[in-house]
């Protein structure tokens, strides 16, 4: 069965919504930290509580957001719950973002003895003007 243009647009709209949900789930410093911890392997919820400066209920809420977005999965073992990363592509995305952040924080070589640093990310940045 052939997909119509309207159906394709609806599918693309839904796909964009799901992608946005994933980015929203990652859009919190504590959740990013949790994902970074899970890159090394599965972790018990207690590890997150011990490592973050927040209470158990807050950690639980963050993990439920990551789970709902399909980024992590849980495994109950007795009274403990372990989480693991199930979206491995997030590792490459975080590495890419870190690279961009590091480039933005690293000043360009000094030009003409000037101590002004510029970034190349700003298209409105004129030669010699600080970013």
Which tens digit of pLDDT belongs to each residue from 7-62? Answer: 777 788 899 999 999 999 999 999 999 999 999 999 999 999 888 888 999 999 99
**pLDDT tens digit sequence for 97-129:** 999 999 888 876 664 444 444 444 444 444 444
Q: What is the pLDDT of residue 107?
A: 73
Question: What three-state secondary structure class fits 76?
Answer: strand
Do the Cβ atoms of 9 and 16 come closer than 8 Å? no
pTM, rounded to two decimals: 0.71
Q: In terms of DSSP bridges, do strands 72-77 and 43-44 run parallel, antiparallel, or are they unpaired?
A: unpaired
Number of folded domains that form the chain? 1
Q: What is the pLDDT of residue 38?
A: 96
Residue 119 lies in a domain: no
Q: What is the pLDDT of residue 35?
A: 96
Residue 126 lies in a domain: no
Q: How is residue 105 written in tokens?
A: 């924080």
Contacts of 68 (CB under 8 A, 6+ apart): 21, 25
Residue 55 lies in a domain: yes
């Amino acid at each position: 069965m052939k997909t119509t243009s309207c159906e394709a647009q609806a599918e693309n709209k839904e796909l964009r919504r799901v992608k946005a949900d994933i980015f929203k789930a990652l859009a919190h410093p504590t959740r990013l930290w949790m994902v970074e911890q899970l890159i090394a392997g599965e972790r018990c919820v207690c590890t997150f509580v011990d490592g973050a400066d927040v209470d158990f209920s807050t950690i639980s809420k963050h993990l439920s957001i990551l789970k709902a977005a399909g980024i992590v999965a849980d495994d109950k073992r007795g009274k403990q719950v372990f989480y693991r990363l199930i979206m491995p592509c997030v590792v490459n995305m975080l590495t890419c973002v870190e690279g961009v952040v590091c480039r933005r924080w690293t000043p360009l070589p000094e030009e003409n003895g000037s101590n002004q640093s510029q970034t190349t990310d700003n298209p409105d940045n004129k030669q010699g003007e600080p970013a």
